[in-house]
Each structure stands twice: as structure tokens, then as C-alpha cells.
Amino acid sequence: MKIVVGHLYPDYLNIYADRGNIAVLTRRAAWRGHEVEVRSVSVGEPLHAGEHDLLYVGGGQDREQALVAQDLAAKAEGVLEAAADGAALLAVCGGYQLLGRSYRDFHGDELPGIGLFPFDTVAGATRMIGDVLLECELEPGDRRTLAGFENHAGRTRLDPDAQPLGRVVAGFGNDGESGWEGCRVGRAVGTYLHGPLLPRNPWFADWLLAQALAHRLGEAPQLDPLADDLELQAHAVSARRAETRGGRR
């Protein structure tokens, strides 16, 4: 089966090894006999609901975010309709911030968000940097850990009824205070974790693939397991670094 991925602004939001995440999705799909077609969607290019099974938005600094914010706002209807139609979505760091309601940068300039995720973000005076470990339960009764790296000044504060991606075991997370990281709305997930995220968290890469396939099949399939020895070793190393760092528990 062909999985169509819409990669938003790969020429602007690409500073956190975002192409590594795309490469992991492509390879893990191919190992199971599926084809991934990646379509770039950049400034001035339309995005229509129904065209993609998964949307990906990477990370960028304030300058790059400012360059794409107005264009993304113009694409808001297409992104929101795609998510409502059941497409999967992963937004990382700067892309995550722009998919909330708003982002106020270090200079006090407010960039529009598209409101997919129920939060607002305000840049703080200091950056939150280091390895981070989360505890997640994306499927009932299936508790897993996500390991990654965070480097952000933004303090993202979720609405009281918002669903976070996970609980912070070690690191800062959304705001360094709440104990939550990321946000989830249906098959759409946003997070500050990068480095890139998917090579060291194969279970999460497979969850995303299953959600993208569910857009075509109506429900998420059970994917055949892969030999993930190296990926699990990478996860373990990242998790140990985060735990050694300490932080919220």
C-alpha cells in the first residue's frame, strides 16, 4: 500500500535532523512491503485535505518560524480538515509551536498558530536543553517510554482538558513546570523531542505508520515486528543520559 506523506516546509523547518524521521518512516514501511511517497509542501503551495495520509512539520528557529507562519495560517483549513479526516500528523519543536494557537517569540512578536493543538506558547528568558525521557500511553494499557533531546525557549502551556503526549520522567517538557510534554489530538501528535526522534523510538515510528495506514484502511493495522536491536540500544543510551541528567519525576 502507498502511504503519502506531506512534508511541510522542508526547506525552512529542518534544523533538527527532520529528514532522519522521514527516512525512518520510509524504511520501516518498505521493510513491510509498503511504499512511502514524500511530497514537499512549502511556501505558496496548496495543501488539500484527503491528499496525504500523514503530515510532518519539522523544527526551526524563530527566523524560520516567522518566515512560514503566515503561509501556514493560510493552509490552516487544509491541515485541520486533514486531521479531522483521520490523517496522522507529527509536528516537532518549532512546527509543534506553530500548530498551537499562538507563539510569542523572544522579541515579543506574536506569530499566529493554526489551533490544531489547544495551547499557547511564550518564549522564556532561558532555554531548556538536554536529554529527556517520557512515559506515554498512546493505546490503553500499553505504556511505553520515549527518549529524545529538547532545546527550546518556548513555554508551552496546555489547556486544562488537553491531552499531553506523555509524562516527563526526566527533563523539562512543555514548560519545565507542569510535568507534561507534547500534545495529542486524535492521530495528530506534537512534541519538543528531536535529535531525530524516530530512530531511537521504533515503537513510536510504527505507531505513526499504523495511524497513517488507518487513514486508508479505517483502522490501524497490527504491523509485523522488526529486528530493532540497534534501535533499542539507541533508545537505552538516550534514556540513561536523561535519567542521569535528572529533573522532574
- pLDDT tens digits, residue range 26-40? 999 999 999 999 999
Please choose, from the candidates 13, 195, 187, the residue with its C-alpha nearest in 3D space to the C-alpha of residue 94: 13
Total structural domains within the chain: 1
User: How far apart are the C-alpha atoms of 162 and 48, rounded to whole Å?
Assistant: 26
Bridge-based pairing of strands 180-181 and 166-170 is antiparallel
Could you give the CA distance from residue 50 to residue 95 in angstroms, rounded to a whole number? 21
* Per-residue pLDDT tens digits for 177-201: 999 999 999 999 999 999 889 999 9
Rg for the chain, CA atoms, rounded: 17
What does the alpha-carbon distance between residue 102 and residue 22 come to, in Å, rounded to a whole number? 26
CB atoms within 10 A of CB 160: 6
Cβ atoms within 10 A of the Cβ of 244, count?
9
- Please tell me the pTM assigned to this model: 0.96
User: Which of 7, 52, 152, 194 is flagged as catalytic?
Assistant: 194
Distance CA 200, CA 235 (A): 5
Q: What is the mean pLDDT of residues 119-138?
A: 96
Among 52, 93, 152, 183, the active-site one is: 93
Give dist(CA 205, CA 197) in Å, integer: 9
17 confidence band (pLDDT: 50, 70, 90): confident
Task: Report d(CA 122, CA 103) in Å as an integer.
Answer: 6
- Residue 152 scores a pLDDT above 50: yes
Q: Where are the beta strands (DSSP E) in 87-205?
A: 88-92, 102-104, 110-112, 119-139, 142-158, 166-170, 180-181, 183-185, 188-191
pLDDT band at 249 (very low <50, low <70, confident <90, very high): very low
Q: Poorest-confidence range of 16-25, 28-37, 137-146, 187-196?
A: 16-25
Summary mean pLDDT of the chain:
95
Angle, CA of 106, 169 and 206, to the nearest 5°: 90
Question: Could you report the per-residue pLDDT of 85-120, keeping only the tens digit for each?
Answer: 999 999 999 999 999 999 998 888 899 999 999 999
Domain hosting 153: range is 2-245
pLDDT at 2: 96
pLDDT value, residue 62: 85
Residue 132 is part of a domain; what is its CATH number?
A: 3.40.50.880
Instruction: Examine the residue annotation and report whether 93 is marked as an active-site residue of this protein.
Output: yes
Query: Which residue is it, cell 538516550?
Result: 238
